[in-house]
Amino acid sequence: MQPFSYARPATLAEAFVLLDEHGDDACMLAGGTDVVVALRNRTLRPKVVIDLKRVAELQPAITEAGPWLTITATTTLAEIDEDQRIRAHHPALIDAAATVGSAQIRNRATLTGNICHASPAADTAPALLAYGAIVHLASARGTRRVDLEEFFVGPRKTVLQRGELVTAIGLPVAAERRGATFARITRRRGVDLATISLCCIVESAGRTVLAYGAVGPRPFVVADESGLLADPSAGEEAKDEVLRHLLTNASPISDVRGSREYREAMLLVMSRRALRQSIERLEAA
């Protein structure tokens, strides 16, 4: 790694001062599982690394307030895995988070870091999108909320402005029952990046939400409002037609993990399976 300065703000106000001052010369550090790799590979060459882990307002916490579960920026994937409320309300997110790296990675990696890194293949993104997650942003000039769907702009690009950081991710706690499935394809059963990933949620009211990763410049979410996908008695061919239509939003590429053709085929195969499983889980709920 080439040399850099290290700053460890104790409050959000201090963090904003540093971010405003340094702009693109700074990079933020939470879990480090993406940032430190980038520093080592020199794809990131900041003058200043701003460690957010001691910022008082960002300490790890998962809080329930009304219809929201709010996960602060420094909360790790391990802490999420250990949280019973998320397990109860957002089980697909637990499943997705469990696929991110190994136990060692999850003890450090943060949910916020995963979305800020904005890899098109971020494993937590499809589940977060399907659950309707929102992102809380803050800067010296105030706060704002953004739907996760809009948060991602493109590969490794988010809507974060200069001087702005993510303070928390909010997950709506649904009143109605639903069945949720996270699924992905990898090159090996062991720890791996996803060739494709997806999350399927079937709601008791009949709506089906599908979110996908690694098949386009950003993770995306689509929905079937017609109720056909959620209908256990609807035929496979009819469902395929709806799925195919929804999947026109995907634009997979060929890379070392898989070819475009394989990804396209797997989108359909895995969507069908996830849908079936979500319907079963809804019935069991």
Q: How far is the CB of 142 from other proteins (least distance, A)?
A: 30
Q: Can you name the residues that pair with 72 across neighbouring β-strands? A: 168
CA neighbor of 168 nearest in space, from 106, 110, 105: 110
CA–CA dist 6, 269 (Å, integer): 47
| 162 vs 187 by CB, closer to other proteins | 187
Q: How far is the CB of 203 from other proteins (least distance, A)?
A: 26
Q: How far is the CB of 153 from other proteins (least distance, A)?
A: 24
Q: How far is the CB of 33 from other proteins (least distance, A)?
A: 5
In contact, 236 and 207? CB cutoff 8 Å: no
**DSSP string of 7-32, one letter each residue:** E--SSHHHHHHHHHHHGGGEEEESS-
| 101 vs 179 by CB, closer to other proteins | 101
| 39 vs 160 by CB, closer to other proteins | 39
CA–CA dist 106, 117 (Å, integer): 15
| 77 vs 210 by CB, closer to other proteins | 77
Q: Give the max Cα distance, the chain.
A: 62
Q: How far is the CB of 269 from other proteins (least distance, A)?
A: 4
CA–CA dist 21, 42 (Å, integer): 22
Contacts with 240 (C-beta within 8 Å, 6 or more apart), sequence order: 268, 272
Q: How far is the CB of 258 from other proteins (least distance, A)?
A: 6
| 38 vs 228 by CB, closer to other proteins | 38
Interacting residues toward other proteins by CB under 8 A? 1-6, 8, 29, 32-33, 36-37, 39-40, 49, 51, 53, 78, 101-105, 107-108, 185, 187-193, 195, 256-259, 262, 265-266, 269-270, 273
56, 129, 248, 270 from 170: Cα distances, Å: 19, 11, 29, 27
* End-to-end Cα spacing for the chain: 50
Element at 137 (helix H, strand E): strand 134-139
Q: How far is the CB of 262 from other proteins (least distance, A)?
A: 4
| 137 vs 279 by CB, closer to other proteins | 279
CA–CA dist 192, 95 (Å, integer): 14
| 99 vs 208 by CB, closer to other proteins | 99
